Structure 1
Amino acid sequence: MKKLLYILIGLVLLVVVAIGAIVAFINPNDFKPMIADEVKKATGRELVIDGDISWRFWPSLGLSVERLAFKNPEGFAEPDMLKLSKAELSVAVIPLLSDTLDIGLVSLHGAHVFIQTLPNGVSNLDGLSGEQNTETTSSENKTQPTPGASVPADEPAKAWAISIGGLELLDASATVRDDKTHTSSEISSLNLTIGKLETGIWVPIEFDVVGKQDALAFISKGNAEAMIDKEIMKSQLRTLALEASANDASTQLESFTLNADRLGLAIPMVFDFAAKGKSNDMSFDAKGKATLEVDEAISLITAKALELNATVAGKSLPRPEMKISMSGDLAFDNKAQKLSLENLKAAVDELNFDGKASVALAGIPAIRFDVHSPKINLDTFPGGNTTAAEDKPAASGGSQGGAAEKPAEKKPLSDVEPDLSALEGLDIAGKITIDDFVANNVEVRDVIANFAVNRGKVDVKQFDAKLYGGTINVKGKLDATVSPARYQVKKGIRNVNVQPLLLAAAGQDMLAGKGSIDANVSGVGLSEKRLRTGITGTIAINFADGAINGVNIPEMIREAKATLKGQRAEYVEETRKTDFSALTATFNLGKGIASTRNMKMEAPALRVRSEGQTNLVKEDLDFEVFVSVVGTSKGQGGRDIDELKDVTIPVKIDGTWTAPSYNLDVKALLTSNKVLEEKARKEAERGLKKLLGDKAGDGKVKEATDKLLKGLFN
């Protein structure tokens, strides 16, 4: 036993002495030309070692090299692709006896990597594979068997166990520059420490980095533990902690933190993050967490129980400060390039949403969604309610029996078409349901909107809602692929309480009753002016059991009756409104005009028909209303006007939309009713004779009075 021990000690001493002799008598710098030649053969590039290559002997055999540079070809911005100030590594001597390569800490000092792509697409990485050179070298180095010599059978080589004590990058840097896309990334300082690189054990990692991505400067540091598996894709990280900050001219990321319990394939990874900073004039403070999992094929990535809570503030927002939250389950199919979001719950202040959505990323992103909200009230946001109380017109709207009020000076309508080019890059389709929606004081319930935007074409397949006791249904299409854009709309409104709708929308109550409207219109152009001049089609209205406020037709009839008798109507204080049981009309739209020839109204003891038009650009009114007394009028105003039964009374409506006027057309009244005209003529003649006395029979006076009467009644 002692002899065996002596033999082993002797062998060790022999190895030590042999290595010592190698270190003492062999100068590694003599190998510089050979190393450079081999690199030149393999890569076609030059390797320059300006510094010394030094041995290190005890307790481990090691080498260090200084000022090493791997050159770039001609034509690149920097001469070196890789350069090192100093590199060191060591190999334990004793383990070599047992086929174990035990490399100690590998230290790289001042490493700098420069990668560049030229405007023509050529990169300094091109040609480094060395496949052709490798084949040539292999062919040249094949050992030819000596003629007649026997070739020994291949024996499997014994596998060496290799371990590395660690890797250390000190003050490293890198530049990646792409002159073709005019982008650049730069790491000005990188320090990285990795513990013993051995499979199956957890190894500590620490790093800090300072760099810049184009104009965005960033700083980051972190630590984790890594376990390297023999199958590299099964390697893992745990206890990851990352901190970062970044800034450029418009963005300041004050802080970003990321923590994860574990990172790897086919395992659940729980992580949380936080970010705080400012972008342009908006500040943000966000936090979130999720459980992430990536399958082994990296084909499916899921994030379950995703939560995000943020506070944003800025002048460009609807409110000075807003709170945003979101939760749900997210999945990304890498093969299909599709992102899906299920169990979505989101909130912006008091606005709440739930539903699902998906995005297919191949080509133009295809977005599909099904979203629901219990209530959206846009009037709670600044600027949401444009119908301010101080801007509302008078509720009664209009004047009776006088000149129209002078309307406020209007700004000319804009003929600038909106820019819809963004629609050409969209592929969106989905459904939105809202239980309660409020905008500009108008309240709509049970909204269902189903629409699609496909490369510039918008299709509103369904818009259904409940509106003030009635329903609304809309379908429409918009083609923004042509200029100006073209549209067509079909709208059906049924049994809506008109008065509360008008009060909410415009602050006016000029019309009351149950209203139904059918519209079938199309047009060219979406500017303010073209929306009025380019629209064509029809709008049919049907109102029942209502009233026209601001005009009292029975009162006008009494005035007409008094006029015929040469008297003044007795004043009775009454509400200016005319009740009706039915009001119908069909408006034809075209060339900026809305006209009708069949407006009809049925009221107690009255029948009203109207024809006329309104200019959609000038917003003026030009309507003739013909009122017929068909029976007793007792009941509205308490006045009996049966004497005018079967007499048609014309009313002129002119003025503007905001200041209409209603006037009794006495001349038309008399000329359209011969009996009344004759009676009025006689009354006028009697009045003139009484006024002129003896001069009434004079020829010239008689001629003058005849012309006057003719002018009154013709």
Structure 2
Amino acid sequence: MKAFGKILGLVLLGLLLIIVAAGFALTHLFDPNDYKDEIRQIARDKAHIELTLNGDIGWSLFPWLGLELHEASVATLAKPAEPFADLQMLGLSVRVLPLLRREVQMSDVRVEGLNLRLNRDKNGHGNWEDIGKVPVAPGETAPATPAAAASEPTVAVEKPAQPIRLDIDSLTVNNARVAYTDELTGKQFSAESIQLSTGPVHDSTNIPVKATAFLGTNQPVLRVRTELSGELRFERALQRYKFEDLKLSGELAGDPLQGKTMTFSAQGQLLLDKAANVAEWTGIKISANQLRALGELKANDLDKTPQISGGISIAQFDLAKFVDSIGQTLPKMGEGSLSKVELVSRVAATPTSLSFDNINLKLDDSSFSGRIAIEDFAKQSLRAILKADTFNVDRYLPPKSAQANSATQTRQAEVANTEAGAVAGTTPLPDKPSKTAWSTERLLPVERLAKLDVDADLTFGQLTLDKLPIQNAALKATGQGGLLTLTNLSGDLYNGGFVANGTLDVRPSAPVLNLQTRLNRVPAEKIIESQGKNPPVKGLVTLTSTVTGSGNSQQALIDTLNGNASFVINNGVLLNANLEQQLCKGIATLNRKTLSGEPRGRDTPFEELKGNLTVRNGVASNPDLKVRIPGMTVNGDGDIDLRVLGMDYRVGIIVEGDTSAMPDPACQVGDKFVGIEWPLRCRGPLELGAKACRIDNDRLGQVASKLAGNKLSEKIDEKLGDKVSPELKDALKGLFKR
């Protein structure tokens, strides 16, 4: 037995030596380069590709089945002269014996100079679609797959074979390039200088991966430098794939960044579970210049409509500087706007929608909470429910243009010149201003508003709008199909309140505004002072109005303004306007006396000022102005020209009796002046208010005639007594009053 075992061992050793010798002879005596034509023909017949081998083929047989290809290219049979891929060198080796066990054990796989060109022609056909296909000659049809004969017996389905096990020492790709061109759109994408290296590649083990590349597009022109590293793990039996400790970084430059560069990075853990149709990105860390964010995302139902959920947290950063750093420009705002932005929110998304729930947003000095959602990307359906503690709208609005500032300065100069001598009432009656008071600049982004689909519900603890400090402000608005509806705009203002609603229709060529407002006991002087103007009146104003206008500028809206309004001002004061002094001047004129001193007061207090307005094309007619002042009543009839912010009123002051001493002996009110309507004319800039009022000398003569007629009537009564009939007396009195 011992001898037999020795002989058997010698036989096996001899066979092994023979195999090694045969392999050596085969690999050294057989040169595959002599069979390039046969190899190309096999590639045509079996793989249906055009293989070109310009370089040498190196190979080994045992124990490694090794292969090296140099200067090779691949094309489709449809276009054999247009290779879609070529490479400088491909080197790989496979152990022979493990192949018999359906195991692939490979040494290092190296790819040098791979160049992959993908092209979609003007008909939408991609050159990769012809890979492995036999070209069809003109006039022929592609061969149909023969149908299985009905009489054939049913073939038993075999159990699927076990998957092939992969075992690769490493994979290295150097200086590879992938280019894609779409001839229909002219778009081009490229990935150049691709470098890829991995550690040992095994199923269910972590595989170190490192890659770099330069990416680019031509529409728009963009260039991206990228670096990727991490550990890849695939579990094919469970259909689970992981990329752990992902680190992606790089730089982005191109036309959209206007010469600026954005440095970016992303980290986290990626998971794809195809069996459960779930994908996750956890431990997210993202940075882009000054922006820093953390979060996690999960996608479900990958086989249906993916549903994404997760959370995001953006650390405080300067949004204005960030936008500038990526070459973009924000609308002009106040100094320091958008310098402190911070966000924490839950995120939900589908391929057609995106929502941010449980928002905690800090914007400069304001804090917001609530929800913002785009329900349909195609329709730009925006939904917002937000609550803020405080928000100053003015700091985010664009500053006034040079044209608007120039108009404001011109108007202020006009008012100042007119106001210089108005308080004492000694200057001539000022003319109505002729300068335009409103901007002609485009007011509304009509094209954007026409596409808007919005439903907003906003509340603010304090809202600053046009310098007005509004408490408990609320805004509800909707917009769809070019029709924007303001359901409610309300708030508390200086211990008063206001509410407004209306519509804005941007579907016509000239947008149409319809607005209803109500102010309730709001201090008039506070509203005017907030606009940087000196108020002509103080008091609590209650106003109800319904107006319409059309156009896309301030001036156009005012020029087409129509509607109605009613107003009441209680417990007020006409500032820097002494109507009593004007009345005194008129009485002194009729008494043929001279005032002995300057006015003792600058203001005129009143109990109530009210009236109704009818607006027609920017001009508000006020036929029933009434002012109740202790001891007198003031009636007015005139127009307010909103187009130039000017007024023209005829005012009558009726003395009710000597309820208070007049400011000057020359104008003491006697019984003969009681009930007489003393005429004033108020004309000039609206800002002057009652300071633009003067005695109307033209109508003062009518008062004098009336007083003279009354005096003659008294003399007739004295002379005639009861000697004539009452009818004759009345006729004589009427004669003298004509």
TM-score by length of 1: 0.83
Q: In structure 1, the residue corresponding to 2:128 is in which secondary structure?
A: coil
Q: Give distance in 2, aligned partners of 1:663 and 1:310.
A: 60
How many Å apart are 1:396 and its aligned residue? Answer: 8.0
Aligned residues: 665
Quickly say closer, same or farther: Cα 1:38–1:567, change in 2 above 3 A: farther
1:56 is displaced (CA, Å) by 2.3
Which residue matches 2:300? 295
- Please list the CA deviations of residues 330-369 of structure 1 after superposition, one character each: whole Å capped at 9, or x if unmatched: 333326x221111212223223322211112342121101
Say which is worse superposed, 589-598 or 634-643, in terms of deviation. 634-643
**Separation in structure 1 between the aligned mates of residue 145 and residue 560 of structure 2, nearest angstrom:** 80
Aligned residue among 358, 373, 377 for 1:343: 358
The answer to whether the aligner puts 1:124 opposite 2:127 as a matched pair is: yes
The percent identity for this pair of structures is 17
Look up the equivalent residue of 1:646 and give its one-letter code.
Answer: G
Equivalent residues of 2:49, 2:132 under 8 A apart = no
Change (3 A) 1:274 1:656: same
Is residue 230–residue 247 contact of structure 2 (8 Å, CA) maintained in 1? yes
Which residue in the other structure is 1:528 paired with? 554
Question: TM-score normalised to the size of structure 2?
Answer: 0.80
Partners in 2 of 1:57 and 1:525 — Cα distance?
86
1:565–1:680 Cα contact (<8 Å) kept: no
Aligned equivalent of 2:593: 567
Which residue is equivalent to 1:64? 68
Alignment of 1:265-276 (within 5 A): 265-267=278-280, 269-276=282-289
The residue number in structure 2 matching 1:653 is 682
2:266: which partner in 1? Answer: 258
CA contact (8 A) 1:554 1:578 kept: yes
| Equivalent AA in structure 2 for residue 361 of structure 1 | D
Q: Distance in 2 between matches of 1:381 and 1:122?
A: 50
Residue pair 2:433, 2:646 contacting (<8 A) in 1 also: no
Which of 48, 51, 68 aligns to 2:52? It is: 48
Is the 2:95–2:104 contact (alpha carbons within 8 Å) kept by the matching residues of 1? yes
Match of 2:139 in 1: none
1:224: which partner in 2? 230
Aligned position for 2:630: 604
The 3-state SS of whatever aligns with 1:499 is: helix
After superposition, residues 197-596 of structure 1 pair within 5 angstroms as: 197-214=201-218, 215-230=221-236, 234-249=240-255, 250-264=258-272, 265-267=278-280, 269-276=282-289, 285-295=290-300, 297=302, 299-311=306-318, 312-313=320-321, 318=333, 319=335, 322-334=338-350, 337-378=352-393, 398-399=422-423, 400-404=425-429, 410=435, 417-418=442-443, 419-571=445-597, 573-596=599-622
Q: Partners of 1:490 and 1:269 in 2: how far apart?
A: 52
| AA matched with 2:676 | V
SS in structure 2 of the partner of residue 481 of structure 1 = coil
Which structure 1 segments of 5+ residues have no match?
A: 146-151, 277-284, 683-712
Is the contact made by 1:401 and 1:662 (CA closer than 8 Å) also made in structure 2?
Answer: no
Q: Which runs of 5+ in 2 are unaligned?
A: 137-141, 273-277, 714-736
Change (3 A) 1:525 1:96: closer
In the alignment, is the contact (CA less than 8 A) between 2:651 and 2:681 conserved in 1?
yes
- Of the three residues 84, 93, 96, the one matched with 1:93 is 96
Letter in structure 2 aligned against 1:203: I
* Comparing 575-584 and 413-422, the one that deviates more: 413-422
| 1-structure distance, mates of 2:39, 2:348 | 48
- CA positional deviation for 1:45: 4.8
Cα shift at 1:55 = 0.9
Q: Give deviations 1:689-708, integer Å, cap 9, x for gaps.
A: xxxxxxxxxxxxxxxxxxxx
Change over 3 Å in CA distance of 1:599–1:34 after alignment to 2: farther
Residue identity matched to 2:517: K
Change (3 A) 1:368 1:636: farther
In the aligned structure 2, how far is the partner of 1:198 from the partner of 1:16? 29
Q: For the residues of structure 2 that align with 1:380 and 1:445, how far apart are their CA atoms?
A: 18
Where 1:201 maps in the other structure, the secondary structure is coil
CA distance in 1 between partners of 2:554 and 2:160 (Å): 85
User: Shift in Å at residue 327 of structure 1?
Assistant: 2.4
Distance in 2 of aligned mates of 1:169 and 1:137: 40
After TM superposition, the structure 1 stretch with the greater mean CA deviation from structure 2, 104-113 or 286-295, is 286-295
For 2:656, the equivalent position in structure 1 comes to 630
1:60 CA drift (Å) = 1.8
Cα distance between partner residues in 2 of 1:408 and 1:503: 21
Q: Does 1:667 align with 2:698?
A: yes
User: Is 1:182 equivalent to 2:189 in the alignment?
Assistant: no
* Residue type of the alignment partner of 1:211: L
Pair 494,8 (structure 1): closer, same or farther in 2 beyond 3 Å: farther
- Give the match's secondary structure for 1:125: helix
Looking at structure 2, the residues matched to 138 and 509 of structure 1 have their Cα atoms a distance apart, in angstroms, of 91
Does the aligned pair in 2 maintain the 1:379–1:441 contact within 8 Å? yes
Q: Which amino acid aligns with 1:333?
A: A
In 2, the alpha carbon distance for the partners of 1:545 and 1:432 equals 34
For residues 249-308 of structure 1, what are the alpha-carbon distances to aligned partners after superposition, in whole Å with 9 as ceiling and x for unaligned?
4153342122214544455611212222xxxxxxxx211111222336372222325224
Q: Is the 8 A contact 2:575 2:603 kept in 1?
A: yes
Give the letter for the 2:260 counterpart.
Answer: Q
Amino acid at match of 1:227: R
Equivalent position amino acid for 1:64 in 2 = E
Measured against aligned partners, the alpha-carbon deviations of 1:43-98 in whole angstroms (never above 9, x if no partner) come to 7652222222221246522111111112268899x932111111111111342454
CA distance in 2, matches of 1:243, 1:46: 39
